Structure 1
Amino acid sequence: MSSSTRFEVAVVGAGAAGLAAALALAREGIATALVGRHAPVADGRTVALLDGSVRFLDALGAWQTIAPHAAPLAELHLVDDTGSLFRPPPARFVASEIGLDAFGWNVESARLVNDLRRLAHTAPNLTVFESDATESHRDADGAQIRLQDGDGVEARLIVGADGGRSPLRGASGLAVRDWSYPQAAITTILGHDRPHRDVSTEFHTRSGPFTLVPLPGGHRSSLVWMMGEAPARRLSTLDDVALAASVERQAQAMLGAMRIDGPRGLVPMRGLSVSTPVAERLALIGEAAHVFPPIGAQGLNLGLRDAAGLRDAVVAAREARRDPGSRAALAGFARGRAVDARLRGTAVDWLNRSLLADLLPVDALRGLGLLAMATIGPLRRAVMREGVLPRLGAPTLMRGR
Structure 2
Amino acid sequence: MAKEPIRKETHGQLIPGEAATPATTEPKTLKADVTIIGGGPAGLVAANVFARSGFHTVLIALKTVPGDRRTTALLAASVEMLRVSGLWPAIAPHTAPLATMRIVDDTGRLFRAPEIAFEANEIGLDAFGYNVENTPLVTCLGASAENRPTLTWLDATAEDIAIGEEAARITASDGTVVETALIAGSDGRNSPSREAAGISVRRWQYRQAAFVANFAHDAPHHNASTEFHTPSGPFTLVPLPGDRSSLVCVERPHVAEELASMEPAALDAEVERRAHSILGRMDLEGVGQVFPLSSFVAKKFGANRVALIGEAGHGFPPIGAQGLNLSLRDIASLVEIAEDVRRVGGDIGGPEALARYDRARQPDVWSRTLGVDALNRALLSDFLPVQALRGAGLYLANRVGPLRRIMMREGITPRFRLPKLMRGHKADPAA
Question: Which of 218, 230, 251 pairs up with 1:205?
Answer: 230
- What does residue 5 of structure 1 align with? 30
- What does residue 382 of structure 2 align with? 358
8 Å contact from structure 1 (residues 43, 188) kept in 2:
no
Matching residue's letter, 2:244: R
How far apart, in 1, do the equivalents of 2:258 and 2:50 lie? 45
How far apart, in 2, do the equivalents of 1:300 and 1:141 lie? 31
Matching residue's letter, 1:187: V
Matching residue's letter, 2:111: F
Question: Which of 180, 187, 190 pairs up with 2:212?
Answer: 187
How far apart, in 2, do the equivalents of 1:69 and 1:318 lie? 36
SS in 2 for 1:8: strand
Question: Which of 210, 214, 225 pairs up with 2:249?
Answer: 225
Structure 1 residues 288-297 or 324-333, which shifts more?
A: 324-333
TM-score (norm. length: structure 2): 0.91
Offset at residue 134 of structure 1 (A)? 0.9
8 Å contact from structure 2 (residues 162, 196) kept in 1:
no
1:399 matched to 2:387? The reply is no
Structure 1 runs (4+) greater than 3 angstroms displaced? 38-41
CA change 1:362–1:38 in 2 (3 A) is farther
1:117 matched to 2:175? The reply is no
After TM superposition, the structure 1 = structure 2 runs for residues 157-176 of structure 1, keeping only pairs within 5 Å, are 157-176=182-201
Question: Which of 112, 128, 134 pairs up with 2:153?
Answer: 128
Question: CA offsets per residue over residues 326-380 of structure 1, 9 Å max, x none?
Answer: 1212222211211111000001111112222221111111111111111111111
Question: CA offsets per residue over residues 177-228 of structure 1, 9 Å max, x none?
Answer: 11221111111111111100000000111111100000111x1000000100
8 Å contact from structure 2 (residues 68, 135) kept in 1:
no
- What does residue 143 of structure 1 align with? 168
Question: CA offsets per residue over residues 136-165 of structure 1, 9 Å max, x none?
Answer: 011211101111122211100001000111
- What does residue 100 of structure 1 align with? 125
Aligned residues: 400
Offset at residue 105 of structure 1 (A)? 0.3
How far apart, in 2, do the equivalents of 1:42 and 1:187 lie? 13
1:328 matched to 2:352? The reply is yes
SS in 1 for 2:286: coil
After TM superposition, the structure 1 = structure 2 runs for residues 2-401 of structure 1, keeping only pairs within 5 Å, are 2-217=27-242, 219-401=243-425
CA change 1:154–1:394 in 2 (3 A) is same
Offset at residue 80 of structure 1 (A)? 1.1
8 Å contact from structure 2 (residues 303, 354) kept in 1:
no
Which structure is richer in relative contact order (CA contacts within 8 A, separation 6 or more)?
1
8 Å contact from structure 1 (residues 210, 225) kept in 2:
yes
Stretches of structure 1 that go unaligned for 5 or more consecutive residues are: none
Matching residue's letter, 2:416: L
Matching residue's letter, 2:378: S
CA RMSD after TM alignment: 1.1
Offset at residue 318 of structure 1 (A)? 0.5
TM-score (norm. length: structure 1): 0.98
8 Å contact from structure 1 (residues 295, 348) kept in 2:
yes
Question: CA offsets per residue over residues 80-132 of structure 1, 9 Å max, x none?
Answer: 11122110111111100111000000000111111001100101211101100
How far apart, in 2, do the equivalents of 1:370 and 1:335 lie? 32
8 Å contact from structure 1 (residues 43, 264) kept in 2:
no
- What does residue 20 of structure 2 align with? none
Structure possessing the higher radius of gyration over alpha carbons: 2
Structure 1 vs Structure 2: percent identity of aligned residues?
48
How far apart, in 1, do the equivalents of 2:228 and 2:167 lie? 49
8 Å contact from structure 1 (residues 81, 203) kept in 2:
yes
Stretches of structure 2 that go unaligned for 5 or more consecutive residues are: 1-25, 426-431
Matching residue's letter, 2:420: T
CA change 1:39–1:353 in 2 (3 A) is farther
How far apart, in 1, do the equivalents of 2:137 and 2:274 lie? 29
How far apart, in 1, do the equivalents of 2:360 and 2:395 lie? 31
Offset at residue 23 of structure 1 (A)? 1.0
How far apart, in 1, do the equivalents of 2:287 and 2:343 lie? 46
How far apart, in 1, do the equivalents of 2:283 and 2:123 lie? 34
Offset at residue 43 of structure 1 (A)? 4.0
